[in-house]
Copies of this chain bind each other. A is one copy, B any other.
């Protein structure tokens, strides 16, 4: 259907508007290799040669499929983000009780960070100095403004209801949300820091992750109790 001499990024632009399934051979191998190397080295320190070696192809093929290391990093991010952000937003705007929302959100975040350690580090580090790029990537995954408004509005309604019932203090949704994200994301994003700074090894970090799955929702609710 597509001429074999067309650069792949042009084919991809057409396919992305037509739901044509991608060819999952060399292109996917490069993406998998890139994810592994990015996780191992960080994007900045990753060498395209190492990615090519790990994928078993030539360095020039990376350019053929993705045109630049930056695009390759974006593709890795998007693949992971599509599996995390939409379900996360859907959870918070669902009709579930607040405690159930928190439990599901923690489950989503924990599973995503375990399956894909790339995501938190990439967002916090590589995109730190390029807000425009982060904005562009997020808009490829979510209707950001709409999702923000709906999520914050739904959470504020939950918090107001809990406050009216005397189960929580009056609380701003932003405050609660930042506390939630801090407790859920930081231990993954900063695992190296915790390892060196506090001497927490992989086993200790696993225990903490288990604690979060079991206790974080109730701990957070207790933190904002009257």
Do B125 and A198 touch (CB < 8 A)? no
Query: Among residues 180 to 226 in chain A, which have CB atoms less than 8 Å away from a CB atom of chain B?
Result: 181-183, 185-187, 189-190, 192-200, 204, 208, 211, 219-220, 222-225
- Report the bound CA distance from A199 to B150 in whole Å: 12
Q: Which residues of B contact A148 (CB under 8 A)?
A: 197-199
A123/B193 in contact, CB under 8 A: yes
Given contact pairs A182-B183, A185-B186, A211-B175, A40 touches B196 in the complex (Cβ within 8 A): no
**Chain B nearest Cβ from A130, distance in angstroms:** 8
In which size bucket is the chain A interface?
35 or more
**A40 touches which one: B125, B129, B222 (CB < 8 A)?**
B129
Cα A204 to Cα B174 in complex, Å, equals 9
Task: Please indicate the chain B residues that have their CB under 8 angstroms from the CB of A193 in the complex.
Answer: 123-124, 127, 134
**Which chain A residues numbered 100 to 128 have a C-beta less than 8 Å away from chain B?**
121, 123-128
> Is there a chain B Cβ closer than 8 Å to A135's Cβ?
yes
Of B45, B183, B208, B220, which one neighbours A174 at CB under 8 angstroms? B208
- Chain B hits for A225, CB < 8 A: 222
Docked complex Cα distance between A42 and B105 (Å): 31
Residue contact B192 to A134, C-beta cutoff 8 Å: yes
* B183:A128 contact, CB within 8 angstroms: no
- Pull 26 A–B residue pairs with CB atoms less than 8 Å apart, ordered by A: A40-B129, A41-B129, A44-B44, A44-B45, A121-B125, A121-B128, A125-B125, A125-B126, A138-B196, A145-B199, A148-B197, A148-B198, A148-B199, A175-B208, A178-B186, A178-B194, A178-B200, A182-B186, A182-B187, A185-B186, A185-B190, A186-B189, A219-B224, A222-B222, A222-B224, A222-B225
Chain A residues within 8 Å of B, Cβ to Cβ: 40-42, 44-45, 121, 123-129, 131, 134-135, 138, 144-145, 148, 152, 174-175, 177-179, 181-183, 185-187, 189-190, 192-200, 204, 208, 211, 219-220, 222-225
